[in-house]
Structure formats: C-alpha cells, structure tokens
Structure 1
C-alpha cells in the first residue's frame, strides 16, 4: 500500500464523485506506468491523512501544522492536506499559494478551463452572481477583462467562500482596487464556507452578491437548484487557475515523471472536462 496521498478536493461535489474518481484513476495509472507509487484511492477526510508525530514541520524544523491524527476525522482540512509531506498530487488555489503555501509545495501543472464559460486555457474567472430578477445573465467577455457593475453592487451584501480564496474574494478585491474602489463598496461582507453555500445564501435572500469561479458556477448550473434563482451580472479578470501541487519533499524526478504523464494524457478524454493540462511546469 502506498504511503503517499492524493486528492482533488476543489471541485469534488457529491454529484460528481464518480467523475473525480475516474480522473484520479487515469492519473494514477499513468503515474504507476512511470514507476510512481501512486495511491489507489484519494483522500477525502482527515482520517485519510497519514499521522505525523509531533506535527508537520517545514524545512527549518518550524511547526506549521498539527498532527493530522489530532483533527476531527470526518472533516477535511484542505490546508492540512496541502502541507502534508506525503502529498503526491493535489490541487489548491493561488490565494493560499500567495499567502505562504508556495514555500511548502511544488507546482506540478496547471489545468485547462477551456470547457467553461469564463475560462481560457490555464486562466479562469469568477461569475458575479446576484438574485435573478427576470433579466438575462451577462456573458463572459472575450478579452477576459473584468466587468464590474458598480451601480448594481454598491451598497449590497457581499458573501464569499473563504478569506484566502482568489476566486471568491481576493480576485474581486483586486479588480475593485484597479478601478479605484474597495470592498467598502458593499454594505457588508460575510463568509459562507463554500461557493455552493454562497449561491444558496443569495437565492434564500441572506446575501446579495458573490464571486463564483467559472467551474463551480458550471457545476452549480448542473446540480444546485438555487442556481436557477440567481443570475450573472459581471465577471472578474481572468487569472491563473487552480494549480496541481506536490509536497516540497517530492523528488525532482517524480515531479518530472508526473508532468510527463499528464502531458501524455492530453486535453482529450477528461471525464469532468477540466483535469488535463494546458501547460505543465
């Protein structure tokens, strides 16, 4: 049994578990053909993370995360996953990467978002969604520049998924700053815990606007009934999408072999239309 772990948690909605499992099976088998000891199944909870006696330390011996064995076993702490020295293959967001995670991991590849409105190659954007009022949704601009309807969003209740999310908070914050505004344009800002929860909050009248990354928005249109009660009023600037990562301790040879395997799989044949890569490295 492999001592390494893998996970693709960012778009692992219950309705697409089979698709995500199929994605991993393709990657796992391609990795194994190159001699990589890839795990049979992905981690989906803290109990799937290997224990680290004394907690996880960085290269200088500084404690950066507790022992996964001490965490609630049925929950799934993504930061704990990303910092695990046993992480062979996972996916994160550039928000946490910019806030310090990049020191502890290696980027293996970038996914393609070509299959989703608001995506182009390795770039993605977020749909700005508000309650539907009978009007039509705004399409993603071809040039990938931000479309921020200040007249619609001023004085509204903004809800975001997580404070370190590029798609849900940081990207929109930067787009507002680029036009001389700030989060102060909103009457309030609140945290929902996830893009899907943000959509539900708007549909139920508990919030007025959220930024939902384009792949999550596509999933919501497939599976979340509340998505029918909101509409797209704008888009954030296209930015680099969610990178595939490995632990800093993963050897250069293994990382190179994973990149070769991903490139070999190509853009065609992705079960969920997102996994395989526009650019590696």
Structure 2
C-alpha cells in the first residue's frame, strides 16, 4: 500500500466526486505504468493524511506546519496538504505559490481549460458576476484581456473566496491596478470561504460582485441553484491556471516520470504538460 499522498481538492464539489475519482484513476494508472507507487485513492480530509510526528519542517529544519494528525480529521487544510512531505500529486493555486508555497513544492504541470468559457490551454480567467439584471452580460474577450465594467463596480460590495486566491482576489486586484483603480472601488469587501459560497452570497444580496474562476463557474451552472440568479458582467485577464505540484523532496526521476505520464495523457481535455 502506497504511503504517498494524492489529492485533487480544488474542484472536488460533492456532486462531481465520481468524476474527480475517475480523473485520479486515469492519472494513477498512468503514473503506475511509469513505475510510480501512486496511491489507490485521493485524500479528502486531514484524517486521510499520514501522521508527521513532530510536525512538518522545511529544508532548513524550521517547523512550517503541525502534524496533520493533530488537525480536525473530518476537514481538509489545503496548506497542510500542500506542505506534506509525502505529497506525490495535488493541485494548488498560483496565489499561495506566489506567497511562499513555491519554495516548498515542485511544479509538475498545468491542466487545460479549453473546455470552459474564459479558458485557453493552460490559461484561465475569472467571471465577474453580479445579480441578474444589474448590468449587461458579457462574453469572455477573445484576446484574453480584462473586461472590467468599472462604473458598475463603483460603490458596490465585493465578496471573495480567500485572500490568497489568484482567481477570486489577486487577479482582479492586478487588473484593477492596471486600469488605474484599486479594490477601493468597492464600498466593502468580505471573505466568503469559497467560490460557490461567493455565488450564493451575491445571489442572496449580501454582496454585489464576485470573481469566480471559469471552471468553478461551469460547475455552478451544473449544480448550484443560486447561479441562476447571477450573471457575468465582466472578466479578469487570462493567467496560468492551477498547477499540479509535488513535494520538494520528491526525487527528480519521479518528477520527470510524472511529467511524461501527463504528456501521455495530453490528448485528454483536463491534462496538459508543463512547459
């Protein structure tokens, strides 16, 4: 039984867990064909993570995270997952990567977002949503540039999934700055805890604007009733999507084997090799 950890938590909505499991099965089998001892199933909670007695340490020996066995077993702490020394394969966001995670992990590859409006290859963008009828609806710009209805946003309440999210906060912040504005264009800002929660928050009138990455928006169209009450009024610029990562201690031979496995799956709609 593999002692390694794999997870695909970023789009693992309850309604699509079977699809996510199938995606991992495809990846797992490709990895095993390369001689990698990939785990049978993905981790979905802190309780699924192997204990790390004494906590997780960085390359210099500094403690950077507690032993996962000390965390609530029914929850999943993304940051502890990403930092776990047994991490073979997971997906993260470029927000946390830019804020320090990149020094503790290695990038394996990028998924393709071709299946979604707002996506192109390894690039994705976020749909800027408001309640239906509060502004003209907007399609994703063909050139991938930001489409910001600044007059609509001015004085409105903004909600976001998390401060370190590229799709929900950082990307829009940068696009506003490029347009000579800032988050101060909004009258208030609140943290929802997730893209799905942001959609519900806007639909229920507790906020007016949210930035939802294009894949999460596609999931919401399928499964979140509140999405019928909101509409896209703009888009952030396209940026690199969520990278696949592995622990910094994963051997180079294994990293390259996983990249070769991803390349062998490149005909599939969700997988794209790095570089």
TM-score (norm. length: structure 1): 0.96
CA–CA distance in structure 1, aligned partners of residues 265 and 121 of structure 2: 16
User: Could you say which residue in structure 2 is the equivalent of 1:13?
Assistant: 13
Aligned-partner Cα distance in 1 for 2:121–2:34: 26
CA apart distance, 1:137 = 2.2
Q: Which residue is equivalent to 1:31?
A: 31
Alignment of 1:114-263 (within 5 A): 114-133=114-133, 137-263=137-263
Q: CA RMSD in A?
A: 1.0
Deviation at 1:49, TM superposition (A): 0.7
Counterpart selection for 1:276 from 267, 271, 274 = 271
Structure 2 residue runs without a partner (length 5+): none
Give the aligned partner of residue 67 of structure 1: 67
Cα distance in 2 for partners of 1:134, 1:238 equals 24
SS at match of 1:47: helix
Q: Distance in 1 between matches of 2:62 and 2:221?
A: 43
Task: Please state how far the C-alpha of 1:136 moved relative to its aligned partner.
Answer: 5.3
- Counterpart of 1:51? 51
Distance (whole Å) between structure 1 residues aligned to residue 100 and residue 267 of structure 2: 30
TM norm structure 2: 0.98
Moved over 6 A (4+): none
| Distance in 1, Cα, partners of 2:271 & 2:194 | 24
Q: How many residues align?
A: 275
Q: Which moved more, 1:232-241 or 1:135-144?
A: 135-144
Partners in 2 of 1:40 and 1:53 — Cα distance?
A: 24
